[in-house]
């Protein structure tokens, strides 16, 4: 691990200012992904700003009947919150499907959104990777890519976003709140938070240097049956090959976001309009324009079948 200086921030604005003063600085909260990457020297921040003391660890009701989830709320606590279990069950289910209990006890809401891909070529520093080293190429495209993206990728990168939580957040139309070093705040709809790789897969979101996530807001509950189906190589503690986060209403309408298939949670509103016609029609629209590889084209079939299972469960 490269040496770094370390400071504990006291307020969100202090943290943002501290990060802005140290080029290349990173915020650290749970550390479950960043430290792993620092050990491999994939991340080499010269300065860490510890944000654990900022007090952003509460879940509070919003004025319009939703919930404001502090950036530092641990995955365990968000999944176990009685209001989330009752009104946003897709989010509880997604969180509980991810990682292990030890990791969920540490990992935070904001950190989960910012976690990096688990593409094996991103992790292998002997291999070219445009996300890790821009311009070096992509070893995944001609390599072992069974686990990687089938849609939304580019000629530069076919990595997937690994988060389960973000898939549920996307189905729920969550909003990400941030603060910058100058104190300015903004709200970013989750649909616009993660960017597609294009020619710059090293850029994964629109946050400015030193911009700190302070909360994620969930709009007022929309009812329906909440389902999160995750298909993976092991029964537990593995990343998704395909996941489906769905909120399905009795009249056949609903919302669906897919995980494990794209560089960001994949939701196509036009596909949701076809949900009443069944999984085949909806999946065809959700994955229109998909460019799977020979090794991962099974994901298209798997996604349709996983959606069919979710629809069947909601009707049962």
For other proteins, the binding residues (CB under 8 A) are 1, 3-6, 8, 28, 31-32, 35-36, 39, 48, 50, 52, 76, 79-80, 82, 85-86, 89, 92-93, 96-97, 99-103, 105-106, 235-237
Assess contact for 41 and 190: CB atoms under 8 A: no
Question: Quick one: 6 or 142, whose CB is closer to other proteins?
Answer: 6
Question: Quick one: 29 or 282, whose CB is closer to other proteins?
Answer: 29
Q: Where are the beta strands (DSSP E) in 234-286?
A: 242-248, 254-259
Place of tokens 């990060």: 19
Residue 23: C-alpha distances to residues 3, 29, 46, 210, 213 (Å): 15, 19, 8, 9, 18
CB of 42 to other proteins, least distance (A): 12
DSSP element (H, E) containing 225: strand 225-231
DSSP element (H, E) containing 191: helix 190-193
CB of 136 to other proteins, least distance (A): 23
Q: Across the chain, how many H-helices and E-strands are there?
A: 13, 11
CB of 127 to other proteins, least distance (A): 18
User: Per residue in 157-173, is it b (16+ CB within 10 Å) or e — as a string?
Assistant: bbbbbbbbbbbbbbbbb
Question: Quick one: 98 or 197, whose CB is closer to other proteins?
Answer: 98
Which of 147, 122, 120 has its CA nearest to residue 137? 122
Question: Quick one: 99 or 290, whose CB is closer to other proteins?
Answer: 99
CB of 5 to other proteins, least distance (A): 5
Question: Quick one: 106 or 133, whose CB is closer to other proteins?
Answer: 106
Question: Quick one: 224 or 292, whose CB is closer to other proteins?
Answer: 224
CB atoms within 10 A of CB 312: 10
CB of 49 to other proteins, least distance (A): 11
DSSP element (H, E) containing 304: helix 298-315
CB of 192 to other proteins, least distance (A): 30
CA angle 36, 237, 87 (to 5 degrees): 105
CB of 30 to other proteins, least distance (A): 8
Question: Quick one: 232 or 305, whose CB is closer to other proteins?
Answer: 232
């Amino acid at each position: 691990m490269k040496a770094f200086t370390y400071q504990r921030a006291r307020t969100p604005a202090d943290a943002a200012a501290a990060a802005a003063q140290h080029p290349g600085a990173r915020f650290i909260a749970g550390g479950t992904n960043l430290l792993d990457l620092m050990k491999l020297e994939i991340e080499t921040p010269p300065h860490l700003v510890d944000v654990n003391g900022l007090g952003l660890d509460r879940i509070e009701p919003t004025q319009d009947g939703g919930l404001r989830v502090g950036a530092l709320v641990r995955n365990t606590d968000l999944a176990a919150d009685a209001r989330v279990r009752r009104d946003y069950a897709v989010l509880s289910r997604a969180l509980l499907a991810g990682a292990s209990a030890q990791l969920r006890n540490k990992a935070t809401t904001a950190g989960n959104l910012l976690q990096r891909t688990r593409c094996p070529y991103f992790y292998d520093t002997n291999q070219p990777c445009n996300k890790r080293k821009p311009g070096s190429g992509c070893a995944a495209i001609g390599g072992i890519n069974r686990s990687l993206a089938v849609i939304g990728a580019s000629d530069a990168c076919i990595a997937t976003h690994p988060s389960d939580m973000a898939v549920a957040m996307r189905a729920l139309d969550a909003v990400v709140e941030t603060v910058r070093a100058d104190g300015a705040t903004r709200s970013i709809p989750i649909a616009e938070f993660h960017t597609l790789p294009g020619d710059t897969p090293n850029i994964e979101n629109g946050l400015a240097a030193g911009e700190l996530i302070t909360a994620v807001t969930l709009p007022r509950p929309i009812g329906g049956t909440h389902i999160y189906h995750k298909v993976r190589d092991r029964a537990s503690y593995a990343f998704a090959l395909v996941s489906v986060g769905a909120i399905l209403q009795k009249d056949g309408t609903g919302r669906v976001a897919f995980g494990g298939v794209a560089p960001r949670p994949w939701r196509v509103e036009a596909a949701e309009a076809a949900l009443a016609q069944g999984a085949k029609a909806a999946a065809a629209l959700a994955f229109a324009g998909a460019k799977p590889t020979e090794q991962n084209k099974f994901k298209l079939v798997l996604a349709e079948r996983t959606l069919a299972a979710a629809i069947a469960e909601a009707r049962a």
